Structure 1
C-alpha cells in the first residue's frame, strides 16, 4: 500500500466526488459523512507524505509504469508534500463549516468540493507541464460551479468575469505549452530543465516567449497586478466555505511559479536563468501597493478580506522575486500562515453577517450580536494575525520576509510592505469598531450559531498561535524545502534515473 500512497491525494477526492455526484438530491447526511471522511483521509495521507518527504528523498510515481520522461509522473518532494498538507487542513475547516447548512443552498456542493481538491492536489503533485494544465482545468471547472453555489446576482456577475478571465488564461497556457514543446521536444519538467541548459542559441527566443507567456498564466492564477481584478469580487461574492477553500487557489499560482522557474529556468539555464525574477519582483511590489488601496477603500467585510488575500499574494510574490534560499523559506512559512488565517476570516465573516441580519457584512452600524463577545475575540485574533502584530504567526512571517531582503531590495520592500500592513491595521480597526463597538447599544439580534461553524473557524484561526508554538520545526522544514528547491538537479537525477526514487 505504501508504494501507492502518493497517488491517494488524487484518488480519494476522485472516488468521493463520483459517489457524491451520483445523486443530485437527498441523502444529505450521507453526503456530509462521505465528504468529511474523505477530507479526513486526505489529511491523514498528507501527514504521512510529509513524513516521507521530510527525509529529503524525492519520490515519484509512474502511472502505468511508463517511466519519465515519456510517461505521466507524480512527484513528491518537500514542497508538494507541504502544499498537500496545507490544502487538507484548510479543506477540513471549510467542509465542516459547510455541513452546518451552507451545503444545502444549492446542489452537488460536496461532489464539486471534492473535485476541486482533486484538481488542487493534482497540480501540486504533477511532474509534467501539460498535466499541470489538465489539473488546472479540473480545479477551475469545479470552482466555476462552486462560485455560483446558492445563486444570486452578485455571484453570477462575478462568476462571468471569473470564467472569462480563466478561459483566456487556459488558452494562453496551451499556447505556451505548444511553444515550449516545439522548442524543447518534451513537457516533462525535469527533462525540460536539462534541455534548457543545453539549448542552442537559435531556440532561446522561442523558449523565452513560452516562459513569459507561462508567467502571464501563473500571474493570472495568483492574481498579480494587473491581472488581479477578478479576485476581490469573486472571493467576496462566493459562499463562505468556497471562499475559504479559494484561499489556496492563488497559492497554486505561486507554487507553479516556484516549481517551473526554479526548476526549468534555474541557475543552470544559462542566458534564460531567472527569466521571471524582475517581472515577479516589481509586479509583486505593485500588487502590494494596489492591495493597500483596496483594503482602505473596502466598505464590506468580505471585500476587505478579499483584499487581504491580495496583500498576501503581493508579499509572496516579492519573496519569490528575491530568489534566494532565505526568501523561499520565509515565503513558505508566510504562505502557510496567510492561507489558513484568511480562510478562517472568510468563515468568520459569514458568521458575523448571519447574526447581523439585514446589515450582513456591510461595515455599517447595526444591532449588537447575540454571541458578540466570542465573535469579537475571534475577529481580534484573526485581525492581529493577518496584519502581522506580535505575538501571533503573522509577525513571524512578515519579519522573515523583511529579513530576507538584501540592502537594495529593502529600500523598496520595507516601506511598501510596512505601509500596506499599516493600511490593514487601520481598516481592520475601523471594521472591528463598526461591527462590535458602535453596535453595542440596543437589543441583541440574530440566532445562535451552530457548533460546526464554530469548529471550522477555530480550526483555521488556531494556526495563528500554533505556528508560533511550533515555529522552530516549521522553520526547519521550510528551510530544508528552500534548500531542496535551490538544488533542482536532485529532482532531475531522481526522475531521469529510473533506478532511484520510484514508488
Structure 2
C-alpha cells in the first residue's frame, strides 16, 4: 500500500463522495454522517502515514498509468505536500464534527461536496503538473460554490455570485498562461518546465515572463492578496460556519502554489527569471496586511472580523515569503499551520456565540446575556491570545519567527513596523469585540440555547492545536526547516524524481 500512498488522499475522498451520492446514503442523513466521518478518519490516518513517510526526506513520485515523466500525470509527495494534506484533513474532520449539530441537514449534498472539496484541495497539493493543478482547482471551486450556497439565503447568493465570477475570470487567465507556457516549453510538467526554462533562449523569455505574470495573478487571487482580496470578507462571513472553517485553508492553496510552482520554475539563480515577482509580492503582502488590520478594526460583526483576520494572515505569509530565505520559508510554514487552525476555530466559535445572542447574532452591539458566558468567554480569550501572538500559544512563536526571518534584510524596518502595528490593531479590535459580546448586555434574560457537545468538541479540538504546536514546537520547527531546505534544492529533487 505504501507505494500507492501519494494517490490515496485523492482517491479516498473521491470514492467517499461518489458513494455518498448513492440512494442508500441519500435516503437517511444519519447514514451520510457516519459514512462521511469514517471516510474522513481514514483520510486522517493516511495523512499521518504520509507525513511520517515524508519525514525521512524522501520525495515520492507517483506516475499514473506508469507513463514516464514528463509524458504522464505525476503526483509529488514530499514534506510540503504531506504537511498541507494533513492540515486539510484535520480541518475537514473538525468541520464534519461541528456540522453534526444540524448544519449538514440544511442541504442535501453537504457531505458529498465536502469530500469533493477535499479531493480538489489534496489534488492541488499533490500534483506535479500545471494542467492538473488547473483541473483540481476547478474541482475544488465547483465544490466550494455548492458549499458556499449551503443553507441558502440572500447574503450567500450575493457573495456566491461574486465568488463565481472572479474565479471564472481567474480560470480563464490560468488557461491562457498554460497555453503560453506549453507553446514555448512543450510541457506542463513542473519539474520538466524548470529544466527547460534554465535552457531558454533570450528571445523566448518574454513569453515565459508574461505567462509567469498571469500565474502570479491567479495565485494572488486564490490567496486573496490585495487588490484581489475583496471577494473574501463577504464570502467567508456569509458562509455556513463549518464551511467557513474549511475555507480557512483555501487561501493557503495560493500560498502553497507560490511556494511549489514559483519555487521550482524560477529557482535556478542562473536564469534571468530567478526570484520572479518577489518585489511585487513583498509590496502586495505588506499592503494586504495593513489593509486587513484596518478591516478588522472596522468590522461590525464577529464573522466579518474573523474573515479579515484570514486576510491578516495572508498578508503576513506573503510578505515574509517574498524574503525567499530558508528561515523565512520555514517561518511561513509554521505560521500557516497556526493561522489556519485558529481562524477555523474562530469561525466555529463565532457561530456558537451568535446562536446564544438571539436576534443580534454576531453583530458587535449590545445583546442579551449568553447562556454559557464563562465557557465561551474562555474559548474566545484563548483564540484571541493565539491570534494576537501572546505567549505561551503558537501565535507568539509564529510571529517571533516571522520577525526573525526579516533580520538582516534591507526591508526589516518595513516588515517589523507593519506586522507589529497590525498586531496592535488586531488586539484593539478583539478587545472591543470581547467586551461587547460578553459585557455590554441589555436587560433581556439569557436564552435557553447551549452549545452542543459535537460543536464544542470541534472548537476545543482546533484551539488545542495552538498549545500543541508549542509543546511539540521543536519537532514542528525542525520539520518546517527541513521542508524549506528541501524546497531550496528543487532541481536536485527533480533529477532524483526522474528515476522513480
- Corresponding residue of 2:287: 286
In 2: Cα distance, 1:318 partner to 1:26 partner:
49
Q: How many Å apart are 1:269 and its aligned residue?
A: 5.3
Q: How many Å apart are 1:446 and its aligned residue?
A: 3.7
- Corresponding residue of 1:5: 5
In 2: Cα distance, 1:70 partner to 1:178 partner:
17
| Structure 1 segment 154-303 matched on structure 2, within 5 A | 154-268=155-269, 270-303=271-304
Q: How many Å apart are 1:90 and its aligned residue?
A: 1.1
In 1: Cα distance, 2:409 partner to 2:44 partner:
41
Secondary structure, aligned partner of 2:322: helix
TM-score normalised over the length of structure 2: 0.98
Q: How many Å apart are 1:491 and its aligned residue?
A: 2.0
Q: Could you give the per-residue CA deviations for residues 162-208 of structure 1, whole angstroms, max 9, x where no partner exists?
A: 00000000000000011111111110000000001111111000000
Secondary structure, aligned partner of 2:411: helix
In 2: Cα distance, 1:107 partner to 1:22 partner:
12
Contact 1:59 1:494 in 2 (8 A): no
Q: How many Å apart are 1:439 and its aligned residue?
A: 2.3
Moved more, 463-472 or 22-31: 22-31
- Corresponding residue of 1:131: 132
- Corresponding residue of 1:495: 497
- Corresponding residue of 1:430: 432
Q: How many Å apart are 1:335 and its aligned residue?
A: 0.2
Instruction: Summarize the Cα distance change of 1:304–1:269 in structure 2 as closer, same or farther, 3 Å threshold.
Output: farther
Unaligned runs of at least 5 residues, structure 2: none
In 2: Cα distance, 1:423 partner to 1:366 partner:
24
Aligned Cα RMSD in Å? 1.1
In 2: Cα distance, 1:427 partner to 1:3 partner:
49
In 1: Cα distance, 2:107 partner to 2:462 partner:
24
- Corresponding residue of 1:486: 488
- Corresponding residue of 2:354: 353
Unaligned runs of at least 5 residues, structure 1: none
Q: How many Å apart are 1:307 and its aligned residue?
A: 0.1
In 2: Cα distance, 1:161 partner to 1:388 partner:
33
Secondary structure, aligned partner of 1:361: coil
In 1: Cα distance, 2:329 partner to 2:90 partner:
22
Moved more, 267-276 or 79-88: 267-276
How many residues are treated as equivalent by the alignment?
498
In 2: Cα distance, 1:346 partner to 1:389 partner:
20
- Corresponding residue of 2:331: 330
Secondary structure, aligned partner of 1:74: strand
Q: How many Å apart are 1:291 and its aligned residue?
A: 0.3
Secondary structure, aligned partner of 1:274: coil
Higher relative contact order (CA 8 A, sep 6+): 1
Secondary structure, aligned partner of 2:367: coil
Contact 2:20 2:26 in 1 (8 A): no
Q: Could you give the per-residue CA deviations for residues 278-335 of structure 1, whole angstroms, max 9, x where no partner exists?
A: 1111100010111011111101000000000000000010111010000000000000
- Corresponding residue of 1:468: 470
1:378 is aligned to 2:379: yes
| Structure 1 segment 374-453 matched on structure 2, within 5 A | 374-405=375-406, 406-439=408-441, 442-453=444-455
In 1: Cα distance, 2:356 partner to 2:496 partner:
54
Contact 2:317 2:336 in 1 (8 A): yes
Contact 2:98 2:454 in 1 (8 A): yes
- Corresponding residue of 2:152: 151
Q: How many Å apart are 1:91 and its aligned residue?
A: 1.0
Q: Could you give the per-residue CA deviations for residues 344-367 of structure 1, whole angstroms, max 9, x where no partner exists?
A: 100000100111111100001111
Q: How many Å apart are 1:442 and its aligned residue?
A: 4.9
TM-score normalised over the length of structure 1: 0.98
